[in-house]
Structure 1
Amino acid sequence: MEINSISKNTFKKHERLKLRKDFKNIFENGKSIQNSYLVILYVNNGLDYSRYGFSIKKKFGKAVKRNRLKRWLREIIRNNKGIIPKGFDYLIIARKHLSKDFDNILFTELKDELLKLFVRINDEKNSNVSD
């Protein structure tokens, strides 16, 4: 394994949403897109890279389950940055249906569901540009 290939697929600190004002901005000004497992709120951030935040309620399950989901989501994003539209702040929210099915769902299924949402965002972004 080459060191160069590892460094390209990292999830850097500047790509994480941590500040309350950033989350508040997404809730107030963002658009949403959803499926049965996830909701993605997104807003243009004016940067040349995207930033990501995660919201998983305590009702989702114990800390082990919530942390596993966050690790999975970060891993999906880390390996698929080429598909995800750049220049947005994203807030990914887990829905109740995912908490019920999480013990039976495979990583690849969750990956497919999340990437479908990002493709929809990309399609919506491209259709707005052409208008």
Structure 2
Amino acid sequence: METHSLKRYTFRKRERLRLRRDISLVFRYGKAIQSEEFVVLYRKNGLDYSRLAIIVKRKFGKANRRNKLRRWIRECFRLNKDSIPKGFDIIVIARKALSEKFEKSNYEVVCKALLGNFERLIDAESNTGNH
């Protein structure tokens, strides 16, 4: 298999939203998309790729549940980069409703819910760009 095609499936360090000032900018000036499972905050970053941060509060459950959800969200982001809009700083926050049904959920359910929010992000940005 060609290594070039594998590179798009990586989750690189540059694609992680890590700095406090960048995260604060998203909270302060970003827009939100809410669903039953997630709140997705986003803001344009002026780069040719998107960066991701994940927030799962302690109320979600024990550390192994929180870490499992983080892994699933990262994996969903990594495998679906083509359908996620480029040039955004994105913060994904898990909601309580997801924690209540997390034991019955699997990766596919969580990823589908997250991708639905990313589709709404694309729609929201395409609508604001026309005005």
* Identity in percent: 47
Task: Please give the root-mean-square deviation of Cα atoms over the aligned residues, in Å.
Answer: 1.1
Tell me, yes or no, if structure 1 residue 120 matches structure 2 residue 120: yes
How many angstroms does 1:128 deviate by? 1.4
Q: 3-state SS of the aligned residue for 1:76?
A: helix
Amino acid at match of 2:18: K
Tell me, yes or no, if structure 1 residue 30 matches structure 2 residue 11: no
The residue that corresponds to 2:52 in the other structure is 52
The residue that corresponds to 1:111 in the other structure is 111
Q: Map 1:73-112; keep pairs closer than 5 Å.
A: 73-112=73-112
Number of residue-to-residue matches in the alignment: 131
Q: Matches of 2:62 and 2:6 in 1, distance apart?
A: 31
Q: 3-state SS of the aligned residue for 1:102?
A: coil
Tell me, yes or no, if structure 1 residue 63 matches structure 2 residue 59: no
Amino acid at match of 2:74: R
The gaps in structure 1 that reach 5 residues or longer are none
Q: 3-state SS of the aligned residue for 2:39?
A: strand
Q: 3-state SS of the aligned residue for 2:33?
A: strand
Q: Matches of 2:96 and 2:86 in 1, distance apart?
A: 28
**TM-score of the superposition, structure 2-length normalised?**
0.95
How many angstroms does 1:2 deviate by? 4.7
Q: Matches of 1:64 and 1:74 in 2, distance apart?
A: 15
Q: Matches of 2:76 and 2:2 in 1, distance apart?
A: 20
Q: 3-state SS of the aligned residue for 2:82?
A: coil
Per-residue CA distance 1:32-74 (angstroms, 9 max, x = gap): 0011000000011111110000111111111111110000000
The gaps in structure 2 that reach 5 residues or longer are none
Q: Matches of 1:8 and 1:120 in 2, distance apart?
A: 23
How many angstroms does 1:106 deviate by? 1.8
**TM-score of the superposition, structure 1-length normalised?**
0.95
Per-residue CA distance 1:45-104 (angstroms, 9 max, x = gap): 111110000111111111111110000000000010111111100000000011111110
